[in-house]
């Protein structure tokens, strides 16, 4: 059983996945290894992630490892139908269609978990929430899950603290290889390529306000600087704010930044970061975008209420006209800009994140008897292993400690 838009689109989907695989040497290597060792033989693995070419190669790697793979998406907007068709053609169960209604999206997730998963690979805790509530009956055979977003990890940790987490979760987004490269460089680049493709604006000389200087925010700010923008950062964490300041950004509160910004990017994981009073202060023509997981960072309801008119430019850009005639532009309804507009992170960056997730799924399969119903940080060896494969693929050699150096670093006598 599968739910997808058009199975006939498979050829294009396969071509796109093959193209992306050329730039995913770590996933390719893992896929080849798992084809022989079959570490997930017979396991039912459900994924809820953006269905694109990179994710498609991850699903292929799980299948190569012997798993029965069930693919759902992480949001109704995050599905490429040709990739869904390509995966279906390769024997993967797919429950994902583009532009699904919220109701349909939920139905797809529920259909995917009807297989009674052993392992889940989640985004934002969507599968976790289902498997602890409406679909609890489908969670009897689950041995663990991995979660790729900060938002999802926070929720799993809150459940674990309350004693309400039914299975162990590995926080894959805590992996250095994911945060440093996928979140920082992947998100950093793709947020700007998406904003520029939808707006056709130039960044040089503009005031760019980045709310949140976490892993993603650093990448977004860094790339904006590289494109010649004056970067303003809004933060609530004093250490991150200091880091942003020393990195060359101007740090200030949103109440001030709102008056100065030409382009805004929220990437905090928090709600109401830009709200009514900020819209009122903004300059005519300001462009508002969100790169955080939920569409709650920019309060679109308040923007709607404040405006007297709205027009749509293309299918991803809306202009809100305020009472005084000022125009504010919102990209992708305030949803995750690089997923709604763009193609998601670059294959080279997501290569690392997906390699981490594949290894996490195998780690769960091999260690679940030792794991408690808690949230675990990713084992260091997985991070190192993935980084080594990536370095090898780039022909980069690094030094190794000699025995005497290793002893020196561990000792206090010498």
Chain residues that interact with ligand NAD, rule: CB under 6 A: 149-151, 183, 187, 211-217, 234-237, 240, 267-270, 273, 291-293, 336, 338, 345
Is 335 in contact with 300 (CB distance < 8 Å)?
no
Q: Which two tokens stand for residue 135?
A: 């679909």
Task: For the chain, give the longest Cα–Cα distance.
Answer: 74
- Compare residues 2 and 124 and give the one whose CB is closer to ligand NAD: 124
Q: How far is the CB of 50 from ligand NAD (least distance, A)?
A: 9
Q: Give the residue from 289, 366, 360, 372 showing the smallest Cα distance to 328.
A: 289
Q: Which two tokens stand for residue 68?
A: 């029965």
Instruction: Provide CB contacts within 8 A for 127, sequence distance 6+.
Output: 46, 48, 72, 109, 112, 113, 117, 120, 145
Rounded Cα distance, 207 and 257, in Å? 9
- Compare residues 173 and 230 and give the one whose CB is closer to ligand NAD: 173
Work out the number of other CB atoms within 10 angstroms of the CB of residue 325.
9
For residue 107, give the 3-state DSSP assignment: helix
Half-sphere exposure of 127 (CA within 13 A, CB side): 37
Q: Give the residue from 214, 204, 219, 205 showing the smallest Cα distance to 234.
A: 214
∠ Cα 314 320 321 (to 5°): 125
- Compare residues 39 and 186 and give the one whose CB is closer to ligand NAD: 186
Strand partners, 266: 211, 290
Q: How far is the CB of 346 from ligand NAD (least distance, A)?
A: 11
Select the residue whose beta carbon is closest to ligand NAD and give its number.
214
53-64 helix and 10-21 helix, angle to the nearest 10 degrees: 80
- Compare residues 235 and 383 and give the one whose CB is closer to ligand NAD: 235
For residue 261, give the 3-state DSSP assignment: coil
Rounded Cα distance, 108 and 3, in Å? 7
∠ Cα 210 189 316 (to 5°): 75
Q: Helical H runs in 136-288?
A: 150-161, 176, 188-199, 215-226, 238-246, 254-260, 276-281
- Compare residues 47 and 138 and give the one whose CB is closer to ligand NAD: 47
- Compare residues 138 and 189 and give the one whose CB is closer to ligand NAD: 189
Letter string b/e over residues 169-190, b meaning 16 or more CB atoms within 10 A of that residue's CB: bbbbbbbebbbbbbbbbbbbbb
- Compare residues 3 and 340 and give the one whose CB is closer to ligand NAD: 340
Strand order in the sheet with 230-234: 250-251, 230-234, 207-211, 263-266, 287-290, 327-331, 317-322, 307-313
Residue in the block written with tokens 């680049």: 189
């Amino acid at each position: 059983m599968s739910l997808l838009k058009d199975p006939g689109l498979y050829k294009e989907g396969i071509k796109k996945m093959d193209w992306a695989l050329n730039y995913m040497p770590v996933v390719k290597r893992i896929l080849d290894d798992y084809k022989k060792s079959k570490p997930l033989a017979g396991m039912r693995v459900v994924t809820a992630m953006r269905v694109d070419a990179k994710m498609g190669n991850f699903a292929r790697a799980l299948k190569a490892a012997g798993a029965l793979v069930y693919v759902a998406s992480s949001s109704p907007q995050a599905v490429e139908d040709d990739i869904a068709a390509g995966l279906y053609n390769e024997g993967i169960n797919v429950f994902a269609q583009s532009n699904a209604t919220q109701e349909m999206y939920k139905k797809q997730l529920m259909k995917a978990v009807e297989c009674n998963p052993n392992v889940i690979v989640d985004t934002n805790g969507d599968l976790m929430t289902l498997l602890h509530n409406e679909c609890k009956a489908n969670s009897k055979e689950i041995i663990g899950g991995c979660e790729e977003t900060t938002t999802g990890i926070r929720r799993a940790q809150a459940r674990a603290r309350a004693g309400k987490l039914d299975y162990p979760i590995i926080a894959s987004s805590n992996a250095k290889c994911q945060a440093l490269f996928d979140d920082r460089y992947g998100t950093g680049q793709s947020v700007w390529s998406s904003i520029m493709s939808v707006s056709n604006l130039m960044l040089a000389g503009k005031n760019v306000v980045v709310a949140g200087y976490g892993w993603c925010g650093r990448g977004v700010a860094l790339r904006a600087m590289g494109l010649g923008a004056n970067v303003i950062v809004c933060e609530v964490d004093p250490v991150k704010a200091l880091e942003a300041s020393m990195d060359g950004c101007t740090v200030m509160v949103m109440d001030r930044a709102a008056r100065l910004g030409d382009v805004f990017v929220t990437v905090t994981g928090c709600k109401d970061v830009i709200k009514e009073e900020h819209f009122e202060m903004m300059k005519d023509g300001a462009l508002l975008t969100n790169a955080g997981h939920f569409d709650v960072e920019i309060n679109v309801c308040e923007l709607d209420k404040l405006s007297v008119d709205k027009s749509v430019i293309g299918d991803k850009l809306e202009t809100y006209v305020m009472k005084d005639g000022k125009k504010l532009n919102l990209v992708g309804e305030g949803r995750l800009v690089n997923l709604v507009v763009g193609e998601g992170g670059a294959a080279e960056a997501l290569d690392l994140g997906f390699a981490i997730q594949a290894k996490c799924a195998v780690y769960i399969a091999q260690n679940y008897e030792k794991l408690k119903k808690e949230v675990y940080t990713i084992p260091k060896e997985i991070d190192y292993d993935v980084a080594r494969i990536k370095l090898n693929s780039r022909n980069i050699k690094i030094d190794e400690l000699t025995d005497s150096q290793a002893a020196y670093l561990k000792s206090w006598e010498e």
